[in-house]
Structure 1
């Protein structure tokens, strides 16, 4: 056999996406180029790795087995890269973190000093919705997750990072009980606490559902309605006056951003080092980067 690393990479991407079109998009290659690489790789085996029925590409059982071996090859190549750096005296490894959307305002500041101190560490930071964060955690695809509400379906350990303060906001400070309420999608931690608050109030107002905090913020800025948003994500708008906090009894709502990991998970040396950094430096990080937020009333 005489396959190349590039052929392996293309083959794995086709297996992951089950589509030459999608694989070409993610690899930034043309579809003909992906097809040629896949054909050249498959030609080295007596048994088919994929087959096309109609217009749908399917992976054979043999193809899945080859893909699993290919993944191990790339894992070993990754290990080789880090081993070389270790011999140069550099602390190396990969740190994988998945972040529920509002955590994107917090976690970079809990990473910056650590990464500056350890240039050999590669960071993979995925900002997504809570359900995907929990799925990545359950599948053991990441070292840590950042959430504001603990998942119920998986046992985890945690370190509290910082308080999450949520305020009712509008594009004016005139509160109207007839104004539309703008919610995040089902499963969002912000959605959960907002529902709890307005359910207690017995609110029957018209509702709109949007899929990101940024979309909710833009809708509030446009005057479509009111929403409860994390203070951490609206600093600029509060300073310029385009968003106003509406003071109501029972607000702000408060949760906590948490760094969580699977219970009994054997953390890598890099993950252990990062966890030690967070525990040791948490108070300093809060004071250094979040004084305005901690002092806000």
Structure 2
């Protein structure tokens, strides 16, 4: 046997994505390059690692066992690299963060310089809805979470980052009279919601309930981007965080519709379990964010003051 770590990585990615094409994209390699590595890897085994049926690749039982072993090998190699960097006085290891979907417009700015400065830190960032984020934090699957509403059932520490403003938005062709949208007009609008478990949906439902507005039609979409595109197309209206629709508003694809009681304002928070045994990387990130958050906000989010 004379396979390389690169071949293990390529094969593992193919198994994960069940596609040579998708694996090549994920690894930033050409498809022929991935196919060649897969062929060379297979040549070292007398038992098939995979089968091709039509255009679909299927991993054999033996191939799956090889993939499981490859994962362990590559994890051990990473551990060696982390230890080597640690002995050189550098931060090294994995940093796991779970964030709600709208936070993808915010969180990268608060950690990009930190990650770039510490090349030995590998970032794993899961973007999902609030319910899944809190579950990951509660199960100690991540080091940090970024949310706009604090979970009440968990004992957590937090860094308050910046304000999160939610406005009513509609497509560019919608016209209304007066300074504010009237209750009667509000009730005529087809509203589009985020999925259950989303903090944006919860905020929207609370606002509508507080105003005692009766809506006649509801639609549900499972991502902020899908929701934004639906509103742009004229499919309906929604209450959305301004942070995620900046460009669409700037170019006129979306318009902010004045409604009394809006914007709703919450705060973005970086949170972690109070009982968490913090790693050196986690402690360093906390220190970095505390020291640099105001600079980041001023540099990247100063435009929010216009609204």
TM bucket, shorter chain: 0.7 to 0.9
Contact 2:93 2:122 (C-alpha < 8 Å) held by counterparts:
yes
Q: Distance in 2 between matches of 1:7 and 1:105?
A: 35
State how 1:102-251 maps to structure 2 within 5 Å.
Answer: 102-170=102-170, 171=172, 172-174=174-176, 175=181, 176-177=185-186, 178-200=188-210, 201-251=212-262
Matched, 1:93 2:93: yes
Q: Alpha-carbon deviation of 1:205?
A: 2.4
Q: Alpha-carbon deviation of 1:73?
A: 6.3
Residues 68 and 131 of structure 1: CA distance in aligned 2, closer, same or farther (over 3 Å):
farther
Detail structure 1 runs of 4+ shifted over 6 Å in the superposition: 3-13, 26-29, 67-73
Residues 262 and 168 of structure 1: CA distance in aligned 2, closer, same or farther (over 3 Å):
same
Q: Distance in 2 between matches of 1:9 and 1:240?
A: 42
* Counterpart position of 1:267: 278
Q: Secondary structure at the match of 1:276?
A: helix
Contact 1:173 1:246 (C-alpha < 8 Å) held by counterparts:
no
Q: Alpha-carbon deviation of 1:203?
A: 2.0
* Counterpart position of 1:252: 263
Q: Secondary structure at the match of 2:237?
A: strand
TM superposition score normalised by structure 2: 0.74
Q: Alpha-carbon deviation of 1:145?
A: 0.8
Matched, 1:291 2:302: yes
CA RMSD of aligned residues (A): 3.9
Q: Secondary structure at the match of 1:149?
A: coil
Unaligned segments of structure 1, at least 5 residues? 18-25, 30-66
Residues 263 and 69 of structure 1: CA distance in aligned 2, closer, same or farther (over 3 Å):
farther
Residues 192 and 4 of structure 1: CA distance in aligned 2, closer, same or farther (over 3 Å):
same
Q: Distance in 1 between matches of 2:128 and 2:193?
A: 17
Q: Distance in 1 between matches of 2:152 and 2:80?
A: 38
TM superposition score normalised by structure 1: 0.76
Q: Alpha-carbon deviation of 1:68?
A: 10
Q: Secondary structure at the match of 1:78?
A: helix
Contact 2:129 2:199 (C-alpha < 8 Å) held by counterparts:
no
